[in-house]
A and B are shown apart, each in its own frame.
Chain A
């Protein structure tokens, strides 16, 4: 790990200004991913600005009936928060499907959004990686890619975003509140993470000197009909090969609202709201509907060898998650 300066932030403005004014400075929340990457010399910050003393530790209800989760709230505290587990069980399930209890106790809401890919070439500084060192190349396409992307890839990068929590946040239609030297703004979750394109080194639409202050959930939490299915190599404490977060509102057998996102298949949680409007909403809640939807959602999927199995795994996981969500609460 390189030497760096440590700063305990006492205000949002000061923290953002410090990072804006110091090349290589970064914010730190829980640090469970950042400190790990620093040990591998993948991240080499000149300074770390600790955000944990700021007032971003609360979960509070919003006037519109939604829920605001402060950026510093730990993943555990979100998952077990009574309002979250009651009204947004999809989010609780996704969080508890990820990492270990120790990591969830330390990792923060804001930090979870900003964790980096676990692609082995990104971590191994002895190999090229366009995400770590732009322009050096991507050995993953012909190399170790069992865990990597099948959708939205580019010539430069086939990395996946590793978060479970973010898959649920995408399906729920969360909004990320951020602030920085240029002011505050809201970012729709679908627009927060980006596809690699020609700049795989940039994971999100957040500027380097912007701070996530909260993640806001809409009123609709799919409390009655939701499912998070995570397929992985071992039953606990492993990243997703494919995961699906599915939420439905069903009235008289017809889908009234829907949110479906996939993890483990792309550089960002994979959701297409327009296809949900066209192929799910107003349609009967049955297997034929789900199959038509998954076929459209996964158009263009491409394997790279080791991860070819995801081309078969993703469709069945989407259908199974939608079926499980639709039938949640029914007697077997």
Chain B
């Protein structure tokens, strides 16, 4: 997938890609067809970002690239040479949760938890964008993140709480 071990006969197509992930620099040999999501999960063992649909429809793979939320499943990793990527692991850590992570805990903003890393990265990105003012705005601007448990009311409450604190987080 990434690194030297799995390239085999396609090694000549791999492209050197430098990327900072959660503050740590990596120089990787990446096959062009590797998605950013697969690179994160299988190359760098950052399995917080989830593969739900793998087609940009569910938002479970949402990460921040240079501080901007995107669907990592639709990003080719080689196209992110020089970029800074922040995943759910980069927002906070056990015992030191970020405001959005803590708010999801406090407001019970998840049930099975599968969509949660994407929900949180998307919410962090949305607050950085600064276009959401109301609860209706939150619902509209988080519509790219699907929760099949239907935890939406508590997700909105969690995001609304952080929005009311007026803070932003999550990389550059």
A residues contacting B by CB (< 8 A) are: 1-6, 8, 28, 31-32, 35-36, 38-39, 48, 50, 52, 76, 80, 99-103, 105-106, 236-237
Contacts of A50 in B (CB 8 A): 78-79
| Given contacts A4-B33, A80-B131, A31 and B13 within 8 Å (CB-CB) | no
Report if B69 contacts A (CB, 8 A): yes
Chain B residues, CB < 8 A from A28: 76, 79
B122, CB-defined interface residue at 8 Å? yes
Q: Is the CB of A105 within 8 A of B32?
A: no
Of all A-B residue pairs in the complex, the 4 with the closest CB atoms, nearest first, are A100-B144, A6-B32, A236-B143, A237-B143
Judging by beta carbons under 8 Å apart, are A236 and B140 in contact?
A: yes
Partner-contacting stretch, out of B21-29, B39-47, B52-60, B157-165: B52-60
In Å, the complex CA distance between A99 and B62 comes to: 14
| B162 → chain A closest CB, angstroms | 16
Bound together, the chains give a CA A144 to CA B39 distance in angstroms of: 36
Chain A residues closer than 8 Å to B79, beta-carbon distance = 28, 31, 50, 52
Complex contact A102–B59 (CB within 8 A):
yes
- The reply to whether A39 and B59 form a contact with Cβ atoms under 8 Å apart is no
How far apart are B22's CB and chain A's nearest CB, in angstroms? 19
Secondary structure type dominating chain B contacts: mixed
Closest to A48 in B: B32
B residues contacting A by CB (< 8 A) are: 10, 13, 15, 31-33, 35, 54-56, 59, 62, 68-71, 74-76, 78-79, 81, 122, 125-126, 129, 131, 139-145
Complex: A8 Cα to B16 Cα, angstroms: 11
Give chain A residues whose Cβ lies under 8 Å from the Cβ of B142. 101
Report A27 CB to chain B, min CB distance, Å.
12
B35 with A35: CB separation less than 8 A: yes
- A4-B33, A39-B54 given; A105·B69 CB < 8 A: yes
Q: How far is the CB of B4 from chain A (nearest CB, A)?
A: 18
Which partner residue on chain A sits nearest B55 by CB separation? A36
B102 to chain A, nearest CB (A): 23
Report chain B residues within 8 Å CB of A3.
Answer: 10, 13, 31-33
Query: Given A3-B33, A4-B33, A101-B129 in contact, is the A106-B74 Cβ separation under 8 Å?
Result: yes
Inter-chain CA distance A263–B141, complex, in Å, is 22
A236, B136: Cα distance in complex, Å: 11
Cβ–Cβ < 8 Å partners of A237 in chain B:
143-144
In angstroms, Cα B131 to Cα A76, docked, is 11
Tell me whether B33 and A2 are in contact (CB under 8 A).
yes
Contact assessment for B55 and A105 in the assembled complex, using a CB-CB cutoff below 8 Å: no
Residues of A within 8 A of B13 (CB): 3-6
A35–B76 CB distance below 8 A: yes
Are A8 and B81 touching (Cβ within 8 A)?
yes
**A184 and B42 alpha carbons, distance in the complex (Å):** 43
Query: Judging by beta carbons under 8 Å apart, are B32 and A5 in contact?
Result: yes
Please determine whether A103 and B33 come into contact, CB atoms closer than 8 angstroms. Answer: no
When distances are taken between beta carbons in the complex, the residues of chain B under 8 Å from A80 are: 129, 131
Question: A3 to B71, alpha carbons, bound, how many Å?
Answer: 21
| Beta-carbon contact of A32 and B56 below 8 Å | yes
The 17 sampled A-B contact pairs (Cβ below 8 Å) are A6-B76, A8-B81, A31-B76, A31-B79, A32-B56, A35-B75, A38-B33, A52-B79, A100-B144, A100-B145, A101-B125, A101-B129, A102-B62, A105-B69, A105-B125, A106-B75, A236-B139
